[in-house]
Amino acid sequence: MQRVVFTSHVLPSQRRFYDSRSRFVGFSGPIGSGKTYALVGKALRMAAINRGRTGLLGAPTFPMLRDVTLRTLLDELEDRRIPYTFHKQEMAITLKRLGSRILMRSLKDYERLRGTNLAWFGVDELSFTDEAAWLRLEGRLRDPLATELCGFGVWTPNGFDFVYERFIGPEKKPGYDAILAAPGENIAVLSKNPDFYDRLKASYDERFFRQEVLGEYLDMHSGAVYYSWDEKRHEQDLKFNPAVPLSLCMDFNIDPMCWVLTQHYGGNVFVLDEQIIRGATTIDACQRFTATLEEPGGYLDQWRKVNGRPLDIQMYGDAAGEHGSTSGRADYALIKDYFRAKPAYKLYWNILAANPLVRDRVTSVNAMMQSAAGLQRMWIDKKCKRLRIDFRRCIWDKKDPGHTIDKDTTHDNMTLSHPSDALGYLIWKEYRVQGFQRENSYR
């Protein structure tokens, strides 16, 4: 068979992926391993082998398809001077010399894939795609005039999911094969950014670093949620720094409503106090909060002594507080109304437009507790009893690991996770793990 190569400077793992003759083949790699370029190279090779036939490139969502997969394909076609026509309305590309056609499809609405006969298909970031979408594509791999049928995908490890089970695990499916890219194989990344992996090691917690940077398969979402928590390291007797604004982190829940008082500066977070009220309204929480601030010699007095102006408070919280309420009106609207009559305070709003996935927020909290490089950037005052209980006891729901925290009751009949949820909104807003910039485009 004619050897078809469309890319230069091919990495060893990419070459093995291109040359694989398995009916279904995958490319698993950590950050910087050139997964999308590997996908595009494989697609062009299959388009050349199956001249005049139709193939498909898919991605978990349309934005990711448009901004990453399609952009990489078009760049590669331009760089290699391969003549093509892009039919924008149809989201399809025709390779003029080969007569081959490449459909570009979002796999979010995978039921729309019915009825398309394919010679080949490829999926970008398969581990963020529903298994049902892959199965639909398998069913379309049936072009009777194809020279070589093939389905392939590329992905970042995401635990022991369906991708691992099909391509890699001890009971992988017949006809399936996977190429595992080695960490640091792409020397072009290091030549442009010599400290690339060191920066990630300082930012990611140990488990996330091993998964995203080393490409390991780990059970990330079973057992303890906050696996980086260590009471001996994280608990301290903290003091308010009157030169730095306060930050209030809010989780709106009737029983209990949980607010966490913090300061953050120099890349570090200091949790000073917590406010846990059962059966509370938003106004109840506001009154309790200002009473704490106005204790003699407390936060407000110390701030005024140093700054001589209203106390700055940075506000963080659940995005749902803009829409729902414990009191019939949007919670944040109630808070704003309450503080309009309190000239001693000046509020700054940092509310999320939408809440992150639970596992993403949790991973960012774990990274603040301790990074893969051993860097600690968060401390908790011993007064924060409920928050400390969360960090010790929260576990993943066995029915929905990685997505839902088991909120089982503790010894005093309060549900778990609300104080840690509140703190997590600040950490996600200000100190999120940067790897999620990539993942969010898939969702």
Angle at 310 between CA 306 and CA 316, to 5 degrees: 105
- The predicted pLDDT at position 440 comes to 37
**Helix orientation angle between 282-293 and 331-340, rounded to the nearest 10 degrees:** 40
342 and 283 in one domain?
A: yes
396 and 355 in one domain?
A: yes
Omega before 170 within 30 of 0, i.e. cis: no
Number of folded domains in the chain? 2
Indicate whether 225 belongs to any domain: no
338 and 296 in one domain?
A: yes
pLDDT of 326 above 60: no
pLDDT digits (tens, 9 = 90+) for 269-313: 999 999 998 888 899 999 999 999 999 999 999 999 999 999 999
pTM assigned to the model: 0.71
Domain extent for 253: 231-433
Angle at 387 between CA 398 and CA 253, to 5 degrees: 75
pLDDT digits (tens, 9 = 90+) for 124-147: 999 989 999 999 999 999 999 999
279 and 167 in one domain?
A: no
Span of 45-49, 69-73, 254-258, 305-309 with lowest mean pLDDT = 254-258
Indicate whether 441 belongs to any domain: no
Mention every residue, 6+ apart, whose C-beta is less than 8 A from residue 305. 242
- CA dihedral angle for residue 36, residue 40, residue 42, residue 43, rounded to 10 degrees: 140
Cα diameter, the chain: 85
Residue finishing a domain among 184, 203, 222: 203
Rounded to whole angstroms, the Cα distance separating 430 from 133 reads 35
- The predicted pLDDT at position 265 comes to 95
Name the most confidently modeled range: 105-119, 169-183, 411-425.
Answer: 169-183
177 and 100 in one domain?
A: yes
Indicate whether 218 belongs to any domain: no
pLDDT of 3 above 50: no
pLDDT of 6 above 50: no
Rounded to whole angstroms, the Cα distance separating 384 from 269 reads 14
pLDDT of 433 above 70: yes
Tokens 């635990």 label which residue? Answer: 159
Average pLDDT over residues 310-335: 77
pLDDT of 410 above 90: no
Q: Which two tokens stand for residue 393?
A: 């006891």
Q: Which two tokens stand for residue 311?
A: 């106390």
pLDDT of 340 above 80: yes
* Total residue count of the chain as it appears in this document: 443
Average pLDDT over residues 40-49: 96
Q: 438: pLDDT confidence band, cut at 50, 70 and 90? A: very low
Cα–Cα distances in Å, from 399 out to 3, 222, 403, 404, 406? 48, 10, 9, 8, 9
- The predicted pLDDT at position 413 comes to 61
- The predicted pLDDT at position 435 comes to 55
Indicate whether 1 belongs to any domain: no
Query: Phi and psi (nearest 5°) for 255?
Result: -145, 90
Indicate whether 17 belongs to any domain: yes
CB atoms within 10 A of CB 9: 10
Indicate whether 6 belongs to any domain: no
- The predicted pLDDT at position 294 comes to 96
CATH assignment at residue 375:
3.30.420.280
181 and 138 in one domain?
A: yes
Indicate whether 91 belongs to any domain: yes
CB atoms within 10 A of CB 409: 9
Do the bridges between strand 395-396 and strand 405-406 make them parallel or antiparallel, or are there none, so unpaired?
antiparallel
- The predicted pLDDT at position 412 comes to 61
CATH assignment at residue 150:
3.40.50.300
pLDDT of 226 above 90: yes
268 and 176 in one domain?
A: no
The alpha carbon of residue 250 and the mean position of all alpha carbons in its chain are separated, in whole angstroms, by 22
Amino acid residing at 370:
Q
Rounded to whole angstroms, the Cα distance separating 179 from 16 reads 7
342 and 194 in one domain?
A: no
- The predicted pLDDT at position 204 comes to 87
According to DSSP, residue 182 is labeled P
pLDDT digits (tens, 9 = 90+) for 238-252: 999 999 999 999 988
183 and 108 in one domain?
A: yes
240 and 188 in one domain?
A: no
300 and 161 in one domain?
A: no
Mention every residue, 6+ apart, whose C-beta is less than 8 A from residue 273. 260, 261, 292, 381, 383, 384
154 and 16 in one domain?
A: yes
Indicate whether 210 belongs to any domain: no
